[in-house]
Amino acid sequence: MLNRTAKLQWGLGHKSLKTVYEGAVVSLMTYGAPVWEGTITKKKYLQKLLSAQRLININLAKAYRTISFEASYVIAGVPPTGLEIDGKVQF
């Protein structure tokens, strides 16, 4: 649904998309993080999580798909998913 509302030339603005991201997507991606934290260290599962995160970052930044992975985090203004998971595990 986020992909439909975050088109490059039209759609919701950055602030609205970031609010949806922080309210819905982060909570879904970090749900049960203390339980499955050990699994995320495996390269196969980490790659799936990072791939999904990159697509979300591209939509948040309203950037083209040729943007690098690291730059997508900076331009979208969100912390890396690993830090989000570590933050949830610490509590």
pTM to 2 decimal places? 0.66
Spans of all domains in the chain = 2-90
Is 59 exposed, middle or buried, given 0-12, 13-18 or 19+ CB atoms closer than 10 A? buried
| The Cα angle at residue 61 between residues 64 and 1, in degrees rounded to 5 | 90
pLDDT in tens, 23-76: 777 777 778 777 777 777 778 888 888 888 888 888 887 778 888 888 888 888
Quick: pLDDT tens for 76-86.
Answer: 888 887 777 77
Name the more confident of 67 and 90.
67
